[in-house]
Amino acid sequence: MIRDAREHNETVTPNDFEIERIRAALPEYFDKDGNFMIDTLEEALRGGADQSFA
């Protein structure tokens, strides 16, 4: 059990937790390989400013 935790800690990077939170909240902005598609997010944000929610 302790060995498993130590092995996990050796492979995890500081931003893994944040990436997982973003992936869970915004799955449509990740491709099938798990890469974040920033250009798709930027498009949505630009387009969202012009839309009316009324």
How does pLDDT run across 13-29, given as a tens digit for each residue? 878 889 999 999 999 99
- Tell me how far apart the alpha carbons of residues 45 and 22 are, in angstroms, rounded to a whole number: 16
Alpha carbon separation from 31 to 11, 18, 38, 42 (Å, rounded): 23, 17, 11, 15
pLDDT band of 48, cuts 50, 70, 90: low
Q: How far apart are CA 28 and CA 22, in angstroms?
A: 10
pLDDT for 54 beyond 50: no
